[in-house]
Amino acid sequence: MSEENPKFNPFPGLRPFEMEDKFLFFGREEQVGELLSRLRKSQFLAVLGPSGSGKSSLVRAGLLPQLYGGMMVSAGSTWELSIMRPGADPLSNLAKSLWETDLFNMDEKEEDAIGQIRATLI
């Protein structure tokens, strides 16, 4: 009888890296630095690219740990994050994501508030 010795595989496979995987995420330090640089200049950042190119991993395991770790303390310590997937209607999906962060303190019902936010984005 042979006893199996399960091996630990630290890589997430097809799912994106998450913040708790930051210690496994490496090799994209230059890209993380560029994201931080752009964020310092405009306080808004959109990460775009083809499906499967690692955008989510770059943001979640690369950029966010740097922000929460104090890499931009001069820009403040309180960040409101809104992560969305563009899908078939990117503006509506962004508006919904922003509404879910409760940044706007809107008393309207969800559908009306999202419509107003979407109109503001145009």
What local confidence, expressed as pLDDT, does residue 30 receive? Answer: 95
Asked whether residue 57 carries a pLDDT value surpassing 60, the answer given is: yes
Q: By C-alpha distance, which of 80, 65, 66 is closest to 21?
A: 65
**Cα separation of 110 and 112, whole Å?**
6
**Residue of higher predicted confidence among 65 and 6:** 65
pLDDT tens, position by position, 61-81: 999 888 888 777 666 556 777
**Cα separation of 4 and 23, whole Å?**
27
Write the DSSP assignment of 86-105 as a string of letters: -TT-HHHHHHHHHHHTT-S-
pLDDT tens, position by position, 13-47: 778 888 888 888 889 999 999 999 998 888 788 88
Q: Name the pTM for this structure.
A: 0.69
How large is the angle between the packed helices 90-100 and 110-121, nearest 10 degrees? 120
Asked whether residue 5 carries a pLDDT value surpassing 60, the answer given is: no
